Amino acid sequence: MTIDQALVDAGLDRLRADSLLTVYDGVVPQDAADRYVLVYSQVEWPDHDPDNTVEGKTEAVTARWICHCVGPTAAAARAVAQRVRTQLLDHRPTVAGVACAPIGQAESVPPTRDESTGRLVMDAVVVYELTARI
């Protein structure tokens, strides 16, 4: 497994550890639950990070989990967002060969109407971020 996938999995596995939280990785199935978190993950290796070596070797990595916290009402979307926060915020994952900082919240957007799936849901977007060194 690559470092990128291991970092992504660290967040997804943490979310899936909550048995009351339905987690979808990048796609929502047709028969989706009425409350869930849809997660888009991103890994970046910034070339101008101060944690990189003076020789220019990239050693810093950032992983993000863009969490769409979905429910039939704004309150339900916030409740999903709270479960997500409980699982991710301040958690320090263990990933082989990587020194991980605790996961932090990078951004939050209040619940908004979304009818793109053919039914009305409320979608609260919360972004969590982890910085690490290899």
- 15-55 confidence digits (pLDDT tens): 999 999 999 999 999 898 999 999 999 999 876 655 555 66
pLDDT, position 58: 72
The amino acid at 81: A
This prediction's pTM = 0.91
The structural domains of the chain, ordered by start, are: 3-133 (3.30.2000.10)
Quickly list DSSP for 9-56: HHHHHHHHTSTT--EEES---TT--SSEEEEEEEEE--TT-TTS-TT-
Is residue 76 within a helix (H) or strand (E), and if so which, with residue range? Answer: helix 74-88
